[in-house]
Structure 1
Amino acid sequence: MNALILVDIQNDFLPGGALPVPHGDEVVAVANRLLDRFPVIVATQDWHPENHGSFAANRGQQPGTMAELGGLPQVMWPNHCVQNTGGAAFAPGLNTARIQRVFPKGTGPEIDSYSGFFDNRRRKATGLGDYLTLKGVTHVFVLGLATDYCVKATAIDAQQLGFTTTLVLDGCRGVELNPGDCDRALEEMQRAGVRLVQSVDLATNR
């Protein structure tokens, strides 16, 4: 059984949002084109409290600098995807009617959660892995935002949990805080066993 995982396709990550991913809006059309090809479709959603420890403003830091959170190195981000705000909502063009379940992440102020499966210390699961297993899913396809953070972490965790994992390249865009971050993320995913494809390949290669 195949599943499509839509990672954080939310307003704050689109152009004009609080933490815009360059060309992030372009992933919406790719996601919508693929929805009819998958029996199981889930989405992850950044869902931060206002006092989240990754927010630069809460720590007296500048966005893009490094600090520590939960004992781990942490990028300081602009306030984004705050619970129950428009920025945390899914992109308006995304066909959310096809999403069978949404898995919030980053809900505790003390640790960030890039992966759709676990927090960054892997102490708390979101329930995504169990849900996919109960649905009989063996192969997941991942796309969304952003390549070099939440997409990378979600894809690697999926592979490590035993799901055959494929990244839909043209359905992802990256932050690129540092030049080459996306290329390094793709290399890291491939080393973990994640396969890379373009969406046009999925019609005949699934």
Structure 2
Amino acid sequence: MKPLATDALLVIDMQSDFCPGGSLAVDEGDSIVPLINKLGRRFEHVILTQDWHPEGHISFASAHPGSQPYTVTEVAYGPQTLWPDHCLKGSSGAAFHPALDLPHAELIVRKGFRREIDSYSAFLENDHRTPTGLAGYVRERGLKRLFLCGLAYDFCVRFSAIDGTALGFECIVIEDASKAVGLPGSVESTNEAFADAGIKRERSDV
């Protein structure tokens, strides 16, 4: 992998709450931090996303009396997986993992900050209509190809890659620099979705 001047590394949600010890920990989620740091040093352009939820967010099981985390409910924009409270804006859990070392990152995209809508994708909220503004930034900077990594492979990395591809960018998922939540069938359906969208899955070579 030799990044071009029009490539960017898109690092998805490398936050403390998604790592061991956090409220929505991905198994071994912190293990990819050193690799992401190495990858970041190869890219001129690095963009970070950050889950940034208010209290009572629609994705929290606690906001739906009688509901349990990891179940699915229907909301105005369709099915919504319910999660433990996580990444409350301004909290230590919402902060980037302390070992993440990407000082040249040029943009942080915060998502999920509207109480009544979740946002897995770096590009669109979960109604699949409301933009985050990232697509406009990437276009105005003249970036063409996006390499995605981070947490979690089967949710936010997945939806970011699919939406980015639909918006006209070439998206490549770096598998060994991503970790999955691993709900029943979620990794398999993610791999199928990537194949259907023509999204490449590659391994780093650092």
Per the normalisation by structure 1, the TM-score is 0.94
> Once structures 1 and 2 are overlaid, which stretch shifts more, 109-118 or 121-130?
121-130
- Which structure 2 residues correspond to residues 1-206 of structure 1 after superposition, within 5 A? 1-60=6-65, 61-178=67-184, 180-200=185-205
Q: Secondary structure at the match of 1:73?
A: strand
Counterpart contact for 1:106–1:112, Cα < 8 Å? yes
Shift of residue 120 of structure 1? Answer: 0.7
Q: 1:65: how far off?
A: 1.2
**2: distance between equivalents of 1:70 and 1:91?**
33
Inter-partner Cα distance in structure 1 for 2:69 and 2:17: 15
CA RMSD, aligned part only? 1.1
Q: Post-superposition shift, 1:85? A: 0.3
Distance across 2 between alignment mates of 1:175 and 1:36: 27
Deviation at 1:14, TM superposition (A): 0.1
Map Cα deviations across residues 132-183 of structure 1 (whole Å, 9 max, x no partner): 11111111000000011100000111111111111000011011121x4213
In 2, the alpha carbon distance for the partners of 1:184 and 1:23 equals 21
SS of 1:111's partner is coil
The alpha carbon displacement at 1:35 in A equals: 1.1
Q: Whole-Å Cα distance in 2 between the matches of residues 68 and 182 of structure 1?
A: 22
- 1:96 Cα shift? 3.4
Q: Distance in 1 between matches of 2:50 and 2:78?
A: 22
Query: Residue 201 of structure 2: SS of its match in structure 1?
Result: strand
> For residues 106-141 of structure 1, what are the alpha-carbon distances to aligned partners after superposition, in whole Å with 9 as ceiling and x for unaligned?
111111100000101123211111111111111100
Tell me the SS of whatever aligns to 1:37. coil
* 33-42 or 3-12: bigger deviation: 33-42
Runs of 4+ aligned residues of structure 1 deviating over 6 Å after TM superposition are none
Answer yes or no: is the 8 Å Cα contact 1:54–1:69 preserved in 2. no
Q: Secondary structure at the match of 2:98?
A: coil
Amino acid in structure 2 at the alignment position of 1:167: V
In structure 1, the partner of 2:3 is: none
TM-score (norm. length: structure 2):
0.94
Give the Cα–Cα distance (whole angstroms) in 2 for the partners of residues 190 and 81 of structure 1. Answer: 30
Unpaired runs of 5+ residues, structure 2, are: 1-5
Q: Alignment identity in percent?
A: 41
Asked whether the equivalents of residues 10 and 149 of structure 2 are also in contact (C-alpha less than 8 Å), the reply is yes
